[in-house]
Amino acid sequence: MSSSTVAPVANNTGAAALSSVGVGSGLDVNSIVSKLMQVESLPLTQLNSQVTSYQATLSAYGTVNSALGTFQTAVQTLNSSSMFSALSVTPGNSSILTGTATGTAIAGSYNVNVTQLAQAQSLTTAGQASTSGAIGSGAATTISFQFGTISANLAGATLAAGVASGGIAAGSLTLNGTAISTDASTTSASALATQINLETGTTGVTAAVSNGGVTLTSASPITVAGSAPSAAGFTAGSTLASGAYNNSLFTQDPSIAGGTVSIDSTNNSLQGITNAINSAHLGVTATIINDGSSTPNRLVLTSNATGATSSMKISVSGDSTLSSLLSNDPAATQNLTQSVNAQSTSLTVNGIPITSESNTISGAIQGVTLDVSTIGATSVAVAQNSSSVQAAVSSLVSAYNSLNGLLNSATAFNASTKAAGPLIGDSGIQTIQSQLRQLLGTPVAGASQNLNSIGQLGITFQSDGSLALNTTTLQTAITNNYSSVGALFSAIGTASDGLVGFKTSTAATKPGTYAVDITQVASQGTEVGSAAPGLTITSGSNDQLSLIIDGVNSSVNLPAGTYTAASLAAEVQTVINGSTAIANAGSAVNVTVNSSGALAITSKRFGSASTVSLGGDALGTLLGSAPTSTTGLDVAGTIGGNLATGSGQVLTASSGGPTEGLALTINGGTTGSRGTLTFSQGYAYQLNNLLTSFLGSSGPLTVESNGLNNNITGINTQIAELNVTLAAQRANYLAEFTALDTTMSSMNATQTFLTQQLASLASNSGG
């Protein structure tokens, strides 16, 4: 915005020594010149007044621009199709959990019972007298961290497989001659410990859960019998020494990296070890606590991740003192004390068990993310987001009324003050007012006849051009016809086929009802085995997989072990999806066992970019000698008879015709006719486009502002030129009246002289 400051005409140019009255004539030169210059400066005063008027108009335009921007912000909230497609999540007890929903969520009511919260494992060392004193000899030592799952192992390989798939396989276990029931209902180490303790009176054995496994304690040796031998020591026919025996398995999770830390004589203190572990960023945090005892300083190691798979296995090679302090194998020697066990969130949704590694659970309810905070049961309602829609409509009405009030004030004549608004009679403002009112007063093309105008939502024009909102009428429309309310505001499509969804449109897309015909349904890339998989993975022999998933290359290793087909499929899926390269590309796979007993690996992506190709020494074991690989297909078809291009499951109409730019998501189904899609461009969509044009470089306010700024620039040039002319004119006046003053002074002096001479002559003649 331009501005102009007019310089005053100089008062003393060329006449610094001139007094306010003549040197002898009595002529007030400065007063005469000043009055003459006031007359000469009248054009300058008029130009300054014109600049002031233009600047007031520009300021008013700026205020209107700001109000239009505020109104557009309110409009854009309702222009988002997600406002109407997303649902709200309302728990009966928000202290137990909260939730959010995406556009894929489905309205419904659910009962959620949270029985366990995810937490990270925490291990504590034996106390040390000092944090800075050397521990051990200072010999080079390596501390290795692995992360994984600790599970009970009372039934050997069969039991381990059962635990991996969520239960304990049926089997026979006898302790001190008493049979302990271990059937499929024994689904956790806790349940197994409970079963054993039920027989305490006859077995003399007590059981407790420790590190995810079961610790048996007895005052006398424990005799073990049964049909299922154990690879970890509970062998049928054996006798365990008296005391405590922890019988656990540790299964490493390869998706959690872990790593090593080097300790030597420079950092073999408790503080040095703490600093080394934290500096290595291995997914574990080390701290020192002081328990106030004679050896108070304890190193506490806490996994950075929550969930049952975040338990730590710590291996130490090198100094024996450090090994005695820090080695911790959940399935063998444990030198650290577990203060907090690693566990996952456990809950049920409508009675269905759900497990999550964190306290944020996505997908247990379709399209819903739950954040649990405490144990307990609550209802969860997934419903239409009616309160947000009503608030957004109310905000739009308020923003419009603020804009309308501003425009009315700026264009009005105040009869009391006799003052006109800065924009009275402005054509640009009149254009804005008339186009906004015309748009809001016109029914939406393509919308339902039952709901195609703002009046049917309870929004009506008042005599001053403002809007009034009847919230009861609005809520009734939202409750009875939620999708039509969405169509009345945003650019949205409603399909007759439940597997056809509106995705996006462009400015070229025209409202209307269009037929949807599909000639090819999108599919996913797969690789399917030619035979049932081998169930034994051996390290260095058949554990390596090279991958190309959706065009992304990676290489992974499978944990050694003996699996069932189901547990092997789960492990392969975990390892592939745990690849950093695959995950960073947004790719993932599902691994299943098909009806022939073979593994099928399927990309989660759809379309021609969806591929699965495996290699490496594990390929033959997993997929047999002749696996079949199939590339995914893109959806194909027409929208409104217009040829459309497919990318994955998204079908986009080609240029030309009323459906240009209309994009739909085809979520499966069959080929052929798939019903119709009705597309409308609602009030918020149209208002947003109109407001963008108002505020753009070709909008009426910008055009008017540019014209005013150009005028101000021209006037400033005139003012500068006029100031030069006036300064010269003042100098001329001063010179002329100074000369006149000098002449009059000289004449006055002559008059005085002559008067004196005449008086003298008269005096002499008279004498």
In a domain, 675, yes or no: no
In a domain, 733, yes or no: no
Contacts of 628 (CB under 8 A, 6+ apart): 527, 528, 530
What confidence tens digit (pLDDT) does each residue in 314-355 have? Answer: 999 999 999 999 999 887 778 898 888 888 899 999 999 898
- Which structural domain, as residue segments, surrounds residue 354? 87-118+344-384
Which two structure tokens, joined as six digits, stand for 715? 């006037």
Say how many domains are in the chain.
Answer: 3
What confidence tens digit (pLDDT) does each residue in 401-453 have? Answer: 999 999 998 888 887 888 888 888 888 899 899 999 999 999 998 787 788 99
Residue 225, pLDDT score:
60
Instruction: Give the bridge partners for 515, in sequence order.
Output: 676
Instruction: Note whether 546 and 629 are same-domain residues.
Output: yes
Cβ-in-10-Å burial (0-12, 13-18, 19+) of 572 comes to buried
The answer to whether 427 and 701 are in contact (CB under 8 A) is no
CA separation, residue 722 to residues 31, 34, 48, 718, 728 (Å) = 21, 16, 12, 6, 10
In a domain, 78, yes or no: no
Instruction: Note whether 114 and 155 are same-domain residues.
Output: no
Instruction: Note whether 111 and 202 are same-domain residues.
Output: no
In a domain, 576, yes or no: yes
Query: Would you give the DSSP letter of residue 456?
Result: G
Single out the residue in 230, 249, 268 at which a domain terminates.
Answer: 249
Which two structure tokens, joined as six digits, stand for 722? 């006029």
Q: Which long-range contacts (CB under 8 A, 24 or more apart) does 287-296 make?
A: 288/131, 289/124, 291/127, 293/127, 294/127, 294/129, 295/126, 295/127, 295/128, 295/129, 296/127, 296/129
Instruction: Note whether 95 and 179 are same-domain residues.
Output: no
The residues of the chain scoring below 50 in pLDDT are 1-22, 152-171, 227-246
In a domain, 547, yes or no: yes
Q: What is the CATH number of the domain that holds 593?
A: 2.60.40
The structure's pTM equals 0.58
In a domain, 512, yes or no: no
Residue 486, pLDDT score:
85
Single out the residue in 249, 271, 305 at which a domain terminates.
Answer: 249
Cβ-in-10-Å burial (0-12, 13-18, 19+) of 487 comes to buried
Residue 740, pLDDT score:
82
Q: Which of 469, 456, 465 is nearest to 398 (CA)?
A: 469
Centroid of chain to Cα 497: 31
10 Å Cβ neighbour count for 750? 10
Cβ-in-10-Å burial (0-12, 13-18, 19+) of 131 comes to middle
Instruction: Note whether 112 and 179 are same-domain residues.
Output: no
The answer to whether 254 and 571 are in contact (CB under 8 A) is no
10 Å Cβ neighbour count for 565? 15
The answer to whether 4 and 716 are in contact (CB under 8 A) is yes
Instruction: Note whether 531 and 616 are same-domain residues.
Output: yes
Instruction: Note whether 158 and 234 are same-domain residues.
Output: yes
Residue 746, pLDDT score:
81
In a domain, 541, yes or no: yes
Single out the residue in 633, 652, 684 at which a domain terminates.
Answer: 633
Instruction: Give the bridge partners for 419, in sequence order.
Output: 414
In a domain, 464, yes or no: no
Instruction: Note whether 614 and 538 are same-domain residues.
Output: yes
